[in-house]
Amino acid sequence: MNNPSNLFLKLLFACLLVSFSGEVGSQTFKFDEFGLEEDICDRYIYSINQDNNGYLWIGTGAGLCRFDGFDFRDDFLTDSLTKSSVVLSYKDRQGNIWFGHIDGSLTIYDGSDFIPVSIEESQKNRINDIIESDDSLLYIATQSNGILRVNASDQIQTKRLNIDDKLVYSIEQLSEYLFLIGTNNGLKIYRLHKDIDSLSFSSVIEQIPPTKIQSILKSRDNTKIWIATEYQGIYIITLNAKDPGSYQVTKANASFGLDGLNIQLPAPFNSPADDFAYVADGLFETGFFSSNRGRTDDIFRFISMIPRYPDCQLIEKISYCYEITEEGATRLDTLPFIYEWDLGDGTKKRGIKVEHCYENQGVYMVQLNVIDSLTREVKYNEAAYPIQVDKVEQVMFNSLDTCYVGDEVKFDGTETNFTSFEIAEYQWNFNDGNVGVSSKVSNLFLAPGIYNVQLKVISTPDKDGQTRTECGCKNIVVLEKPPISVPSQYDP
């Protein structure tokens, strides 16, 4: 099946999984393939989504198909579900899944029932995109019949909003009153007039070529919008939180070091065939996508071989600090004596009780010298005993705690200390889709946020072939790079 969104998926995977430096790279995945031999409902697949119960809903040329992890089925006993091709699916904030049909029909699945949305026949047209606005209304882009707005709070109500453009492929909310509309002739901004319930053309985003806009995707933190074009690559709109009408447009190809439009990951993720319609978890560790590389649209399931570890312990900062006192000295504290401690690492401190932090592990011989303040006589080695400073047994790694987007951050796990086993493997998960497999690695974070970085160490097998696994984690704060101030030629 020739699906026009395959270019966006291939570039999206490339952006999500691009490797950077050292032993850091994209996730290692295990793949399972499901095709006609596994009784998939139809050979043509358009969309994939997953409900809150874990069922996979597949939009096919023969209608809707469900996969429970073992079997595919399409024998839903309901008259409310049309049998026409399901070309689009969208999961709203409540967990409802909206299915858009090729004939313009719209169906909601609330987790137990299918609910048809009443749309006048004259307003029905192929559904290309669905979004949920900030005020929980659904906006639906139809191919050649404008925008439908659906209020699904109590009683489902629909309203058609006419626009100037004839062909619409994608939609996204830019601000409370502004919407991005992807057309066959570039990306347009339309203004919503709530008082008269209409959309009016506002402007064209001229930095993006006047080509077909395949897909529009807003980042989770609402700071960026990704624009997938036909034959012109991907663009990123960076939003200004203080001024919703202000934004910056850049081409993603250059940002990610992609020199051409046909850059793909190796199979089985991407292939020379059409790879499209995917759903994944938030960490991109498991998911499904479809591809017609076998001349039929098969489903591929992927599972990360280095997943997030559920029981990872927060790394404690190593502190070799001790409080040192001599009990016998407290009985003499009224006499004119000065107590001086030689702490065994070249440091001397005075007082009946002192605190000291050693920089490294080891055995330190602590010696108490007593000075008579009247005669200045020094009595050496009045008390002496060794202090054994041992490393804390835990996964430990050193890195910057804060960095900027695009900076290379180095991670060093060699201070991990376990006396009961020998480390055979280091596995890093940077919480951004990248992993590492060495004691020392580096990573580039491509978006601002707080990343919980995990280091998992695996022991060599014991005599019974069993291994031990330990995990440590800490948060890395990634900030947006501040703008570079270029001095004017008129500046003094």
List the strands of the sheet with 86-91, edge to edge: 86-91, 97-101, 106-109, 114-117
Average pLDDT over residues 310-324: 80
pLDDT exceeding 90 applies to what percent of the chain?
A: 23
pLDDT digits (tens, 9 = 90+) for 233-249: 888 888 877 776 678 88
Burial class (CB in 10 A: 0-12, 13-18, 19+), 310: exposed
Span 28-38, average pLDDT: 78
The reported pLDDT for the residue numbered 7 is 38
Sheet containing strand 298-304, strands side by side: 29-34, 298-304, 286-291, 275-280
What is the band of 259 on the pLDDT scale with cuts at 50, 70, 90?
very low
Read off the pLDDT of residues 67-113 as tens digits, 9 standing for 90 and up. 988 889 887 756 667 778 898 999 999 999 999 998 888 999 988 88
Q: State the pLDDT at residue 181.
A: 94
Neighbouring-strand partners of residue 388: 363
Structure tokens at 81: 């579900």
Residue 253 has pLDDT above 70, yes or no: no
Query: What pLDDT was estimated at residue 373?
Result: 74
Three-state secondary-structure class, residue 253: helix
Mean predicted lDDT score pLDDT of the chain: 80
Confidence tier at 28 by pLDDT (50, 70, 90) = low
Phi, psi of 121 (to 5 degrees): -55, -35
Does 307 sit behind a cis peptide bond, omega within 30 degrees of 0 on the bond before it? Answer: no
Q: Give residue-wise pLDDT tens across range 432-487.
A: 878 888 999 999 988 888 899 999 999 999 888 899 999 999 999 999 887 665 45
Higher pLDDT, 165 or 180: 180
Burial class for 67, CB neighbours closer than 10 Å (0-12, 13-18, 19+):
buried
pLDDT value for 91: 93
What residues are paired with 114 via a beta bridge? 109
Judged against a pLDDT cut of 60, whether residue 333 lies above it is answered with: no
- Enumerate domains of the chain plus CATH numbers: 6-304 (2.130.10.10), 319-389 (2.60.40.10), 393-479 (2.60.40.10)
CA 30 to chain centroid: 20
Q: Residue 6: in which H helix or E strand, if any?
A: helix 6-17
